[in-house]
Amino acid sequence: MTRSFDPSLEKAKALDREDDLSGFREEFYIREGNIYLDGNSLGLMSKRAEAALSEAVAAWRDYGIDGWTDGKYPWFTLSEWLGEKTAPLVGAEADEVVVTGSTTVNLHQLTSTFYRPVENRTKILADALTFPSDIYALQSQLQIRGLDPEEHLIRVPSRDGHTLREEDLIAAMTEEVALIVLPSVLYRSGQLLDMKRLTAAAKERGIPIGFDLCHSIGAIPHRLSEWGVDFAFWCNYKYLNSGPGGTGGLYVHRKHFGRSPGLAGWFSSRKDVQFDMDHRLTPAATAGAFQIGTPHILSAAPLIGSLELFAEAGIDRLRKKSLSQTRYLMDLVEHELAGMGFSFGHPTEDERRGGHVCLVHDEAVRISKSLKEYGVVPDFRAPDVIRLAPIALYTSYTEVWEAVRRLKKIMEEKHYEKYEKKRGVVA
C-alpha cells in the first residue's frame, strides 16, 4: 500500500457521514451487534421486500384465482413486469429480460436453445473455476445428446488457481466450439471478467456466448445489449436481496426473438393465445418465450420491493460505493493484518474486481468459524478462501472497520485454534 491510508475509527465514521447511500441501511433488517458480510451469498431482507411478499399473500387471500388478472401486480404478467424493472441492471431492453426459473433451470433452457452442434463444431467452452452447478448442467446437456463431456466440454484452466486470463479464454474459442458459457464474476475470487472483450471475440468467431451473472447483478453495471451478449442468466437472492430460493432471471438479446425455446412450456406462449389451449406452441416474441412453467409468485414477489430500492439508489452509485468499500477493506487488511498469512485471491484493480473481497489463508475454515462467534458473518469456500462482501445498500464503513478489528483480535489470540479444521455441511 503506497498511498496514504488512515486506519482510524474516526475515518470510518467520517466515510459513513459522507456516504450518500447510507439512508438505505434503514430499509433492511440488520441484527444488532452482527456484521453481515455474506450478502454475495444471500442478501438481507428489506422491509419493502417483506411488504411486497405480504401484499402477494394478501392478493391470494382476497382475489383467489382472479389474482392472475386483478390486483396491483397481476400474476399472469408479473414475470415480464419484473423483467422490465430488472433490465436496467443488466443493460438490456425491457422485453429482453424475464424473471423466471432458477439459475440452473435457466441455464438448461438457454443451453438447450443455443447449443446446436454440427459436424466438427460440437464443444462447449467453460472454465475450470466456474460454479459446479453450471458444469453439471453443461455436462448433462452433452450427455442427453449422446456426447461425452470429457471430450466435448472444454474447461479453460486457471494459471494461479484463483483467476482467469481473457487471452486464455479467447485462445480456446476454436472452430470446434459451438457454445460459450462463462461467469461474469468468479464466485470464489471475485474476479470480474471483461465481458465486452470476450463477447467481441466470440462474435468474430461466430460462436454464441452467454454469461452467468449471479455474482455481478446488483453489484456492477452491465451493457449486455450494447455488447451483443447472446444470453445471460442469474439468481436474484444475492445482491438483489429477493430471499432464499427467490425466482431467478434470464436475458436473451432481441436478435434471437422468434427463436423456439429449447425447453418449451405453457408460459413460453404468447400471452394473447396462451389460453387457446392449442397443442401447437406460439412462442412469445420476447424473452418471455424462454419461460417454461407457471411462475412462482410468492418466490418472485419480494423482488418487487427490492427492485424499488435499486431504482432509487442507481446501479452506478452502488458500484461506486462497492468499489470504495472493498478498497477500504483491502487497505485495512494490508495495514492491520500484515504478517498474519493473508493474501488476496482476486485482482486488485477496480475494473477487474467484483463485489466481494477474497482473502486466502491456510486456516480459512477455522478463521471463518471464529469470525461467526465474534459476530461477523463471512463466507468460506474450500479449501482456503474467506469471502467478505460489504453490500452498498446496507453495510457501513464502520462495520467494515470493526470486522477487521475483530479479525485481528482472532489472529492475535489464535482464537481460531479452538475449532476443528473441517467445514460445515453448508459452508
Contacts of 141 (CB under 8 A, 6+ apart): 108, 111, 112, 115, 124
Instruction: Please tell me the distance from the alpha carbon of residue 306 to that of residue 291, in angstroms, as a whole number.
Output: 22
Q: Which of 28, 237, 290, 394 is catalytic?
A: 237
387 belongs to the catalytic site: yes
Instruction: Please tell me the distance from the alpha carbon of residue 168 to that of residue 262, in angstroms, as a whole number.
Output: 30
Range 297-300 contact pairs with CB under 8 angstroms and sequence separation of 24 or more: 297/56, 297/60, 297/67, 297/75, 297/78, 298/53, 298/56, 298/57, 298/60, 299/242, 299/243, 299/245, 299/246, 299/247, 300/78, 300/79, 300/82, 300/99, 300/242, 300/246, 300/247
29 belongs to the catalytic site: no
422 belongs to the catalytic site: no
Instruction: Please tell me the distance from the alpha carbon of residue 172 to that of residue 396, in angstroms, as a whole number.
Output: 42
394 belongs to the catalytic site: no
Lookup: cell for 82: 419484473
Q: Which of 63, 131, 136, 257 is catalytic?
A: 131
Q: Which of 310, 387, 397, 416 is catalytic?
A: 387
Instruction: Please tell me the distance from the alpha carbon of residue 223 to that of residue 197, in angstroms, as a whole number.
Output: 12
Q: Which of 212, 230, 379, 384 is catalytic?
A: 212
- Work out the widest C-alpha separation in the chain, in whole angstroms: 70
Q: In DSSP terms, which residues pair with 387 in a beta bridge?
A: 358, 379
Binding residues for pyridoxal 5'-phosphate: 103-104, 131-134, 212, 215, 237, 266, 294
DSSP letter string, 65-99? GGGGTSSSS-GGGHHHHHHHHHHHHHT--GGGEEE
Binding residues: 103-104, 131-134, 212, 215, 237, 266, 294
- Reported residue count of the chain is 427
36 belongs to the catalytic site: no
Instruction: Please tell me the distance from the alpha carbon of residue 300 to that of residue 408, in angstroms, as a whole number.
Output: 40
Q: Which of 48, 123, 188, 238 is catalytic?
A: 238
Enzyme catalytic residues = 131, 212, 237-238, 387
